[in-house]
Chain A
Amino acid sequence: MRRSMLFIPGNNPSMIQNAPVLGADSIILDLEDAVSIDEKDSARYLVRNALLEIDFSGCERVVRINSIGTNFGYDDIDVIGRVKPDALIIPKATEEAVEEVDDLLSAIEREEGFKLGSIKIIPLIETAIGLEDVFNIVKSSKRVVAVLLGAEDLTADMEIKRTKEGEEIFYARSKVVSVCKALKVDAIDTPFTDVNDFEGLRKDSEKAKLIGMTGKAAINPRQIDIINEVFSPSKDDIEWAKRVILAYEEAQREGKGVFSLDGKMVDAPILQRAKNIIEKAKAIGLIKG
């Protein structure tokens, strides 16, 4: 379950050790943009030690490494891979980069005696070439469990203005969602960068959810509650799903192939949607499993 993924600067002990109690489903310890060039080594050892010694209370432990187009990226993989994070985020992802990281992780897993494929990969799609190749990027490694859209870098690459309304990233969001649904991985939306505009955050999250994003990155702990709320099934959704499933079970007992609820026919896609809602609600703990 990745409703909210919170970025934490990788060289800040105070923020790292407080991260597990903030309510995010995933913590992204950031070695890339949040760390200055001079402090890359320092952050790398700090994040490694944090992964070894801090109890992240069930949060997914993700590390955004530096690009493997830089020397930092290889050192990040070698040091961080050996303490078995749950996943690595690969910035400016390409098919080649994901394949290379997959190979490097496989070598580390063999050397350290970890289960092969246990460290997952989340490609960060933030270039036009990455966006257009996202299907192949996801297909290039069985480790890929989600795609994160990075709209700030993407719009810079596209030479277009980034707005709060986000009309300029409609295509990117749709493309990422479509590929993620096709390949059964999570689609994580870009962060909302105005950390004081909570109404804007809610609208932006709802817009992303409407077209199929399954979660959203956060850059401030105060954004987590809204993101979790938006990306959780609502009470009405859960009630509806329960009624659909009850009606289905009744129809099965009566030997009916198709059935209706509230005057509307329920077919396989609707039943599947209801099951997905119940499954998600159980995973979050909104209903008992």
Chain B
Amino acid sequence: MRIKKPAKAGTMESNDIYIMVYPNENGNEIQLDSIVLKQFGKQIEKVIMDTLKELEVENALVVAKDRGALDYTIKARVETAVKRAIE
């Protein structure tokens, strides 16, 4: 899937994550801001990367503002943003 335009999904509410996806020329990149960055930053980045891989996305900049989302929410918000970005 090729990211064609910027798109976003999620909210800044507790237990959610706000995801913005942009086209990127240097493969997939993540800029993460999280209330649990020290404890779970690496895990959140891995979930985002794995979701991009599953969706066969290779050119996305993902800007993520996490408010304590569990994995199922992170995956859903990334998938929504990506699918909005390829429309």
> Are A and B genuine complex partners?
yes
- Decide yes or no whether B15 CB sits under 8 A from chain A: yes
A64 to chain B, nearest CB (A): 18
Q: Which residues in B have their C-beta under 8 angstroms from that of A42?
A: 9-10, 76-77, 80
Check if B76 sits within 8 Å of A49, measured CB to CB.
yes
Q: Which residues in A have their C-beta under 8 angstroms from that of B76?
A: 42, 45-46, 48-49
- Cα distance A128–B54 in the bound complex, in angstroms: 46
- Decide yes or no whether A54 CB sits under 8 A from chain B: yes
Check if B72 sits within 8 Å of A49, measured CB to CB.
yes
A102-133 contacts to B, CB under 8 A, are none
- Decide yes or no whether A211 CB sits under 8 A from chain B: no
Tell me which of B14, B72, B73, B79 has the highest count of chain A C-beta atoms within 10 A of its own C-beta. B72
Check if B16 sits within 8 Å of A14, measured CB to CB.
yes
Interface size class of A (residues with CB under 8 A): 10 to 19
Tell me which of A42, A50, A52, A54 has the highest count of chain B C-beta atoms within 10 A of its own C-beta. A42
- Decide yes or no whether A17 CB sits under 8 A from chain B: yes
Check if B16 sits within 8 Å of A50, measured CB to CB.
no
Known A14-B13, A14-B16: A41·B72 in contact at CB below 8 Å: no
- Decide yes or no whether B69 CB sits under 8 A from chain A: yes
B18-37 contacts to A, CB under 8 A, are none
- Decide yes or no whether A53 CB sits under 8 A from chain B: yes
Tell me which of A41, A48, A50 has the highest count of chain B C-beta atoms within 10 A of its own C-beta. A41
Q: Which residues in A have their C-beta under 8 angstroms from that of B75?
A: 45, 49
Q: Which residues in B have their C-beta under 8 angstroms from that of A50?
A: 72
A251 to chain B, nearest CB (A): 57
- Decide yes or no whether A166 CB sits under 8 A from chain B: no
Chosen A-B contacts, 14 in total, with CB atoms closer than 8 Å, are: A13-B73, A14-B15, A14-B16, A17-B15, A41-B80, A41-B83, A42-B9, A42-B10, A42-B76, A45-B76, A45-B79, A45-B80, A46-B73, A49-B72
New A-B contacts (14) at CB < 8 Å, excluding given A41-B83, A49-B75: A13-B13, A13-B15, A13-B72, A42-B77, A42-B80, A45-B75, A45-B80, A46-B76, A48-B76, A49-B76, A50-B72, A53-B70, A53-B71, A53-B72
Closest 9 pairs between A and B when the two form their complex, measured CB to CB: A49-B72, A14-B15, A45-B76, A53-B72, A46-B76, A13-B73, A42-B80, A13-B15, A49-B76
